[in-house]
């Protein structure tokens, strides 16, 4: 019985919002130190870095970073709402909207790449 209730909780939108927030946080924690290191190297040889940064794979990776940042931001806002406001049914809709907004921000960023 305990296992069935635990499995049921994983189908809830709050669980998936929680997981996206944690995964995006870990991904950002792994990526950002490397990103700052590359930026420090770029300061020494900017022209070479700019040529490298205009490769399609790098530009799509940047769009992925924007998506992770937007997901992490909206996930953090969700946590703040859960911490400081009483639970209402509309919050489930807010979770879906925050995911959509995150995806929209990343798509707008990708459109500006071309």
d(CA 56, CA 51): 11
- What fold characterizes domain 13-111? 3 helical TM bundles of succinate and fumarate reductases (1.20.1300)
Helices (H), 45-89: 46-53, 56-84
Annotate 78-106 with b (16+ C-beta within 10 A) or e (fewer): beebeeeeeeeeebeebbeebbeebeebb
| Lookup: tokens for 58 | 């790098």
pLDDT of res. 100? 84
Residue 61 has a pLDDT of 86
Which residues 6+ apart lie within 8 Å of 70 measured at CB?
Answer: 101, 102, 103, 105, 106
- Write out the chain's pLDDT in tens, 114 residues: 445 555 566 677 778 888 888 888 888 888 888 887 777 777 677 777 778 878 888 888 888 888 888 888 878 877 777 777 787 777 778 777 877 888 888 888 778 765
Quick check: 102 and 63 in contact, CB under 8 A?
Answer: no
């Amino acid at each position: 019985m305990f296992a069935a209730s635990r499995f049921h909780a994983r189908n809830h939108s709050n669980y998936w919002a929680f997981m996206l927030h944690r995964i995006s946080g870990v991904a950002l924690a792994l990526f950002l130190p490397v990103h700052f290191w590359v930026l420090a190297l770029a300061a020494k040889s900017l022209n070479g870095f700019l040529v490298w940064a205009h490769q399609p794979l790098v530009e799509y990776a940047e769009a992925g970073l924007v998506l992770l940042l937007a997901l992490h931001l909206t996930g953090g806002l969700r946590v703040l709402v859960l911490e400081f406001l009483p639970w209402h049914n509309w919050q489930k809709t807010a979770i879906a909207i925050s995911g959509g907004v995150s995806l929209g921000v990343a798509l707008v960023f990708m459109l500006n790449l071309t």
